[in-house]
């Protein structure tokens, strides 16, 4: 009914004749697309309606849950129609791995959401394809590593930032507060130091507005109205969330242009401070060489910076928030983590090399990533060519959803897929074990380029906070009353909540 109400509200602003003509047009297009390729075996799926496809059958607040149910009925490779757009869904660990790893080339392109296409125009590293994507991803990986990703220099920055975050938490003196902003600021400062070459203070208004706007528009991306807009761009003028998204995004774009301008004015090619400097130096070199078809241009710089900033902030900070919420919800597990930290580390600063001596804590962090499931549908892929996969024909250019929630909750891979169960990652002797079906960063050509950075951040921030604080519910709220309902945005985040960070004596 929610979906139907949304369409009725939209169509109330359009003339009856115009509506009928549009419906007729989409009916003809949809009928053709639904009946074409009948001579080839395509993935099965629920019967679509003209124009709407299967949208009325989806819970737009949690579409991944509907897709998971469909996979039980139609199998690990099935078709749905998001409005008139055909989408193939891949479900289960074996199927997702086979597609993204064994058929990496065929399933390796990115399908753009309309709302992201509006702003990125195919530039940057996240929503691009072809040679531009290859160049930007290769350059981003190389330079993020050069500026510390996965190295001791980066570890030192994360340790310092974790101490800064600890001081912020102490100011609340054990009273309940929303931890979203300080965690966002701490995590964001790590990617800022790599991209811009410097960190920011938590009370810097430019920095805080940049982070807060990023958090707001990533939440908007998952709203039901934006999901409908992605399928029917022509209704954009009536979508309030689309207008708000563009307003927030343009403000961040303007601020990034100013940050890049400042860095350009003080650029020293012999002493690059971060990714932006390295990009500007490469761009100048290519311009001097009179290379005219370079992908190192201003649009790619701006979009890559915005995307690195957003991805480097939102996903890791969201996972940390889930981790603290789980510790509060399950105090006995928090007891075990803190006992291990006290026994192995004591009061000194945790280092990455300590991970091997903290198997239970490591298992808890991995289980947080698995159960939090922050990217349940991954980002949409697209087939680069016609492909026959598991006996089904999938046409070139088809949007593909690797349903990561079906991997992380795969009942054939996990003993207790819907429970917080750190033993998933421990053997009978209590030693940490890797699990093949642990794919929170996706896999294949489009695997998260910041995986090593995120793993380091999660470990150091989480352990440092658990060393210093006992996390409890607000006064008058029991652990059982804590809400674990996820809020759908570009990723799954906890519903708004407050916790107490009680200093450990």
Burial string for 53-84 (b: 16+ CB within 10 Å, else e) reads bbbebbebebbbebbbebbeebbbbbbbbbbb
For residue 350, the model assigns a pLDDT of 96
R_g of the chain computed on alpha carbons: 24
For residue 22, the model assigns a pLDDT of 54
What share of the chain in percent tops pLDDT 90? 79
Per-residue model confidence as pLDDT tens digits over 315-341? 999 999 999 999 999 999 999 999 999
Closest CA to 458 of 338, 355, 331, 340: 355
Closest CA to 77 of 44, 46, 118: 44
To 5 degrees, how large is the angle CA 68–CA 70–CA 73? 120
Q: Judge whether 194 and 148 are in contact, CB under 8 Å.
A: yes
The secondary structure of 65-99 as a DSSP string is HHHHHHHHHH-SEEEEEETTEEEEEEESHHHHHII
Residue 244 has which token pair?
């708000």
- Residue 330's CB: how many other CB atoms inside 10 A? 17
For residue 334, the model assigns a pLDDT of 98
Whether pLDDT at 99 is above 60: yes
d(CA 24, CA 13): 18
Whether pLDDT at 36 is above 60: no
Pairing of strands 399-403, 85-91: parallel
For residue 154, the model assigns a pLDDT of 87
For residue 19, the model assigns a pLDDT of 46
What length is written for the chain?
505
| pTM, full prediction | 0.91
Residue 484 has which token pair?
């674990």
Per-residue model confidence as pLDDT tens digits over 230-253? 999 998 888 899 999 999 999 999
Give Cα 476 distance to the centre of its chain: 33
Q: What is the dihedral of CA 261, 263, 267, 269, to 10 degrees?
A: -110
Q: Which residue has the higher pLDDT, 25 or 310?
A: 310
For residue 37, the model assigns a pLDDT of 44
- Of 134-148, 177-191, 450-464, where does mean pLDDT reach its minimum? 134-148
**Average pLDDT, integer, range 273-300:** 89
Bridge partners (DSSP) of residue 79 are 88
User: Per the annotation, does 448 bind a ligand?
Assistant: yes
DSSP 357: G
Per-residue model confidence as pLDDT tens digits over 288-321? 887 777 899 999 999 999 999 998 889 999 999 9
Report whether CATH 2.60.40.420 matches the domain 30-503: no
Q: Is 37 helix (H, G, I), strand (E, B) or coil?
A: coil
Residue 39: band (very low, low, confident or very high) from pLDDT cuts 50, 70, 90: low
Closest CA to 225 of 240, 212, 237, 214: 240
Residue 505: band (very low, low, confident or very high) from pLDDT cuts 50, 70, 90: low
d(CA 402, CA 104): 12
* 3-state secondary structure labels for all residues of 383-451: CCCCEEECCEEECCCCEEEEEHHHHHCCCCCCCCCCCCCHHHHECCCCCECCCCCCCCCCCHHHCCCCH
Residue 113 has which token pair?
């959401």
Per-residue model confidence as pLDDT tens digits over 109-118? 999 899 999 9
pLDDT mean across residues, the chain: 90
d(CA 503, CA 175): 10
Per-residue model confidence as pLDDT tens digits over 433-466? 999 999 999 999 999 988 999 999 999 999 999 9
d(CA 317, CA 182): 9
Whether pLDDT at 105 is above 90: yes
Cα→Cα distances 397→38, 72, 86, 88, 346, Å: 18, 26, 10, 11, 55
Give Cα 192 distance to the centre of its chain: 18
**Average pLDDT, integer, range 416-431:** 97
Q: Which residue has the higher pLDDT, 152 or 376?
A: 376
Bridge partners (DSSP) of residue 91 are 403
Per-residue model confidence as pLDDT tens digits over 56-81? 999 988 999 999 999 999 999 999 99
């Amino acid at each position: 009914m929610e979906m139907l109400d949304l369409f009725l509200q939209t169509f109330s602003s359009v003339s009856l004749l115009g509506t009928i003509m549009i419906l007729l047009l989409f009916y003809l297009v949809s009928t053709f697309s639904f009946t074409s390729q009948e001579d080839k075996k395509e993935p099965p799926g629920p019967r679509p309606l003209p124009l709407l496809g299967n949208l009325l059958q989806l819970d737009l607040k949690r579409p991944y849950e509907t897709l998971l149910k469909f996979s039980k009925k139609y199998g690990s490779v099935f078709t749905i129609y998001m409005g008139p757009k055909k989408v193939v869904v891949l479900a289960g660990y074996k199927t997702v791995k086979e597609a993204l790893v064994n058929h990496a080339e065929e399933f390796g392109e990115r399908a753009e959401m309309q709302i992201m296409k509006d702003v990125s125009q195919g530039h940057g590293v996240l929503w691009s394809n072809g040679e531009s994507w290859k160049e930007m991803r290769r350059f981003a990986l190389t330079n993020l590593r050069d500026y510390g990703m996965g190295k001791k220099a980066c570890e030192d920055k994360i340790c310092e930032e974790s101490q800064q975050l600890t001081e912020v938490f102490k100011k609340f003196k054990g009273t309940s507060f929303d931890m979203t902003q300080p965690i966002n600021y701490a995590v964001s400062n790590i990617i800022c130091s790599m991209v811009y070459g410097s960190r920011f203070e938590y009370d810097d208004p430019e920095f805080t507005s940049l982070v807060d706007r990023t958090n707001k528009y990533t939440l908007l991306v998952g709203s039901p109205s934006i999901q409908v807009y992605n399928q029917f761009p022509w209704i954009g003028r009536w979508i309030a969330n689309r207008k708000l998204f563009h307003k927030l995004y343009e403000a961040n774009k303007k601020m990034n242009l100013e940050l890049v301008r400042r860095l350009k004015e003080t650029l020293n090619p012999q002493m690059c401070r971060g990714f932006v400097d390295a990009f500007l130096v490469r761009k100048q070199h290519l311009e001097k060489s009179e290379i005219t078809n370079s992908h190192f241009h201003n649009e790619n710089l701006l979009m890559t910076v915005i995307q690195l900033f957003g991805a480097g902030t939102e996903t890791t900070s969201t996972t940390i928030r889930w981790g603290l919420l789980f510790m509060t919800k399950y105090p006995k597990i928090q007891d075990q983590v803190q006992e291990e930290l006290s026994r192995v580390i004591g009061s000194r600063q945790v280092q990455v090399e300590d991970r091997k001596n903290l198997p239970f804590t490591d298992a808890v962090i991995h289980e947080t990533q698995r159960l939090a499931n922050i990217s349940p549908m991954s980002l949409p892929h697209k087939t680069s060519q016609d492909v026959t996969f598991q006996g089904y024909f999938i046409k070139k250019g088809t949007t593909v959803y690797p349903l990561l929630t079906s991997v992380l909750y795969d009942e054939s891979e996990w003993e207790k897929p819907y429970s917080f169960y750190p033993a998933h990652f421990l053997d009978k002797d209590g030693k940490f074990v890797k699990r093949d079906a642990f794919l929170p960063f996706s896999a294949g050509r489009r695997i998260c380029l910041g995986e090593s950075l995120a793993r380091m951040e999660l470990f150091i921030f989480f352990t440092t906070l658990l060393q210093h604080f006992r996390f409890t519910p607000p006064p008058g709220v029991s652990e059982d009353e804590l809400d674990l309902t996820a809020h759908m945005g570009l990723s799954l985040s906890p519903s708004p909540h407050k916790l107490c960070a009680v200093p450990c004596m």
